[in-house]
A and B are shown apart, each in its own frame.
Chain A
Amino acid sequence: MRPVTATVARPDMTTLRMYAAVAAAEFRRYATYRQAMVAAMFTNSVFGFLRCFVLLAVAGGAAGGAAAGYPRDRLATYVWIGQGLLGTVNIWSPPELAERIRTGDVVADLLRPVNPVMAYLAADLGRFGYAAVTRLVIPIAVGAVAFDLYAPAHPVTYPLFVGSVLCATVVCFACRYLVNATAYWLLDSRGPQIGWVAVSSALSGMAFPLAFLPAPLTTALYLATPLPYLIQVPADVLVERHPPATMAAMVAGQVAWAAVMLAAARLVQRRAERRVVIQGG
């Protein structure tokens, strides 16, 4: 990193402002897809009811009426947060970048004087901003009407949750970027895409809390993969599964994963660009 001096601070401010503009444009773009949002809310709600009923039945059939340590109200909350996070963290976004790479449109991104990873991240955060006030909040509200949800006891949980969702979004963005970037080498990136969707839906905590899995496997997932940091960690933060200090440590883990995955995305992007240049595009 270069030392920040007055002379480089100015261009940095312009760059930041440019990223902010990209994010704002993306926020507005998503705000126009109102009908698709209504449809998504309907779908999220149906799946919310479904999973909630199933997991409550699981708790009912488990010893002590709590499933893997989740009492009923926390379990219900967990499900509805999960539905909200699905569209906010955006695990299953359409493979736009891979499509741009396949068609060659990506060259237009490379011609811009900004880092494509950061520009795409800014856009994704704009989308996140809109999703956070719609797709995250609405399922929780629907769930709260139909089920007894758990209200966090510690005030610190709320800021921690906001930070955790933001980190989850960045981690998820970087993961998807890497999956999409395989298109630079494979052209048809459907294999990695399918793998990503399968693995992320099974092992991110979306289908069921990871505590349902054998403990060694869960530990391995936390230590070796970014997957639990997508849904499991933010959901656990809000239902206060662990004491605040432990949860803060988990969010710190998210920050670390976000940094690692973003660095990996930038590295891969640099390699890919060199490849595009060598091949002549």
Chain B
Amino acid sequence: MADGTLAIYRRLVAAQVRSQAQYRASFLVELCGTVLFASVDVLAVLVVFRVARSVGGFEFRAVFLMAALSTCAFALADLTVGSIERIRAYVRTGLLDAVLVRPLGALPQLLAADVAPKRVGRVLFGIGLVGVAAHTARLDLTPARWLLLLVTPVAGAVLFGAIFVASATVAFWWIDSGEFAAALTYGGRDLTSYPMTVYGGLFRRVFAYGLGFAFVGYYPALALLGRRDPLGLPAVTGWLGPVVALGAAGVAASAWKVAIRHYRSTGS
């Protein structure tokens, strides 16, 4: 039964890929576009180190590793879950109705049907970037650290995915929420590119620990580099990414359930 469900989603994804493939020129342009945007984000990190020798107490190779982990995690989440941003349009126009009358879960159905294959470019860029950063940082890769290096982007993607979904549910209560969700999703991507020592006070407490962004790049990078956390958390924190991510996913799933119940279909 479970296998059958997966096969259905695979078909929905394939249908979306076939649909997109019809617009080949646009697809190529957008594929390049996503890579271009990802490079602009990384460029910002590089430029900063032209002016400063360290940022938040960390030298280039450490920050670059954090930024690479963040870029890769965000790209994965953007590919798989990013299209949930469109939920605002679905709620506004009542298009969600057509999704809700099918015998499939609404969230996986939306994700499968709206997947944006053009974002594959960004994922490849992110993976390459992690490789370069790991090399630049001259990591001492024990088997445990190898595992951490592989798991971290996935855990980060799950966390970003949870943020994507949870912030998208805001649209069910607040249809005109505009760019609100972007503050948490794209904001989170920018935020996780730098060490958490950079941020101050309440802002750090809310974003780094409250929303869990510290576990995307910062703590795993510390564990990979074998550094102590200047903020005082124990070394094991670097390994908590998957736990935090699963917790966030649970919260997002509950938020989604409540939101669907709250859905007030508009239009005739």
Query: What residues of chain A have their CB less than 8 Å away from a CB belonging to chain B?
Result: 33, 35-36, 39-40, 42-43, 45-47, 49-51, 53-54, 56-63, 67-68, 188, 190-191, 194-195, 197-198, 201-202, 207-208, 212-214
Q: How far is the CA of A58 from the CA of B198 in the complex (A)?
A: 9
Report the minimal beta-carbon distance from B115 to chain A, rounded to whole angstroms. Answer: 18
Binds A, one of B9-17, B33-41, B147-155, B259-267: B33-41
Q: How far is the CA of A53 from the CA of B56 in the complex (A)?
A: 10
Please state if A58 and B48 are interface contacts (CB–CB under 8 Å): yes
Please state if A212 and B47 are interface contacts (CB–CB under 8 Å): yes
Q: How far is the CA of A214 from the CA of B43 in the complex (A)?
A: 13
CB-CB under 8 A from A63, the residues of chain B are 53
Q: How far is the CA of A68 from the CA of B47 in the complex (A)?
A: 11
Instruction: Say which residue of B52, B184, B200 sits within 8 Å of A62 (CB atoms).
Output: B52
CB-CB under 8 A from B258, the residues of chain A are none
CB-CB under 8 A from B51, the residues of chain A are 58, 62, 67-68, 212
Binds A, one of B23-31, B72-80, B98-106, B240-248: B23-31
Please state if A43 and B179 are interface contacts (CB–CB under 8 Å): yes
Contacts known (A35-B174, A40-B179, A201-B40); A190 close to B30, Cβ less than 8 A: yes
Please state if A61 and B54 are interface contacts (CB–CB under 8 Å): yes
Please state if A39 and B180 are interface contacts (CB–CB under 8 Å): yes
Binds A, one of B89-97, B158-166, B186-194, B221-229: B186-194
Instruction: Say which residue of B36, B47, B182 sits within 8 Å of A43 (CB atoms).
Output: B182
Please state if A208 and B48 are interface contacts (CB–CB under 8 Å): yes
Determine the residue in chain A with the shortest Cβ distance to B177: A39
Please state if A47 and B187 are interface contacts (CB–CB under 8 Å): yes
Q: List 11 A-B contacts (CB under 8 A).
A: A35-B178, A39-B176, A43-B178, A43-B179, A46-B183, A57-B197, A188-B23, A190-B30, A191-B33, A194-B36, A208-B44
Please state if A213 and B47 are interface contacts (CB–CB under 8 Å): yes
B199 on interface, CB distance cutoff 8 Å: yes
B55 on interface, CB distance cutoff 8 Å: yes
Please state if A67 and B176 are interface contacts (CB–CB under 8 Å): no
Instruction: Say which residue of A50, A59, A212 sits within 8 Å of B191 (CB atoms).
Output: A50
Interface size, chain B (Cβ < 8 Å):
40
Please state if B176 and A61 are interface contacts (CB–CB under 8 Å): no
Please state if A54 and B179 are interface contacts (CB–CB under 8 Å): no
Please state if A57 and B178 are interface contacts (CB–CB under 8 Å): no
Please state if B48 and A43 are interface contacts (CB–CB under 8 Å): no
Please state if A61 and B37 are interface contacts (CB–CB under 8 Å): no
Q: How far is the CA of A54 from the CA of B199 in the complex (A)?
A: 7
Please list the 9 inter-chain residue pairs (A to B) with the smallest Cβ-Cβ separation, ordered nearest first. Answer: A61-B52, A194-B33, A35-B176, A39-B178, A36-B178, A46-B183, A43-B183, A39-B180, A57-B198
B138 on interface, CB distance cutoff 8 Å: no
Please state if A53 and B50 are interface contacts (CB–CB under 8 Å): no
CB-CB under 8 A from B190, the residues of chain A are 47, 50-51
Q: How far is the CA of A59 from the CA of B182 in the complex (A)?
A: 27
Report the minimal beta-carbon distance from A55 to chain B, rounded to whole angstroms. Answer: 8
Please state if B55 and A61 are interface contacts (CB–CB under 8 Å): yes
Interface centre among B40, B57, B174 (most CB of A within 10 A): B40
CB-CB under 8 A from B203, the residues of chain A are 49-50, 53
Please state if B177 and A212 are interface contacts (CB–CB under 8 Å): no
CB-CB under 8 A from A36, the residues of chain B are 176, 178-179
Q: How far is the CA of A9 from the CA of B50 in the complex (A)?
A: 56
CB-CB under 8 A from A47, the residues of chain B are 183, 187, 190
Please state if A39 and B44 are interface contacts (CB–CB under 8 Å): no
Q: How far is the CA of A36 from the CA of B51 in the complex (A)?
A: 37
Please state if A33 and B176 are interface contacts (CB–CB under 8 Å): yes
Report the minimal beta-carbon distance from B29 to chain A, rounded to whole angstroms. Answer: 4
CB-CB under 8 A from B176, the residues of chain A are 33, 35-36, 39
Given A58-B55, A63-B53, output 6 extra A-B contacts at Cβ < 8 Å.
Answer: A188-B23, A190-B26, A190-B33, A197-B37, A202-B43, A213-B50
Chain B 40-71 interface 0/1 with A at a Cβ cutoff of 8 Å (1 = within): 10011001101111111100000000000000
Contacts known (A53-B200, A198-B33, A207-B44); A59 close to B178, Cβ less than 8 A: no
Report the minimal beta-carbon distance from A219 to chain B, rounded to whole angstroms. Answer: 16
CB-CB under 8 A from A43, the residues of chain B are 178-180, 182-183, 187
Report the minimal beta-carbon distance from A248 to chain B, rounded to whole angstroms. Answer: 27
Instruction: Say which residue of A58, A202, A213 sits within 8 Å of B40 (CB atoms).
Output: A202
CB-CB under 8 A from B194, the residues of chain A are 54, 57
Q: How far is the CA of A214 from the CA of B25 in the complex (A)?
A: 35
Report the minimal beta-carbon distance from B130 to chain A, rounded to whole angstroms. Answer: 21
Determine the residue in chain A with the shortest Cβ distance to B58: A61
Please state if B43 and A190 are interface contacts (CB–CB under 8 Å): no
CB-CB under 8 A from B48, the residues of chain A are 54, 58, 208, 212
Report the minimal beta-carbon distance from A217 to chain B, rounded to whole angstroms. Answer: 10
CB interface residues, B 99-124, toward A, < 8 Å? none
CB-CB under 8 A from B37, the residues of chain A are 194, 197-198
Chain B 193-214 interface 0/1 with A at a Cβ cutoff of 8 Å (1 = within): 0100111100100000000000
Report the minimal beta-carbon distance from B75 to chain A, rounded to whole angstroms. Answer: 16
CB-CB under 8 A from A51, the residues of chain B are 190
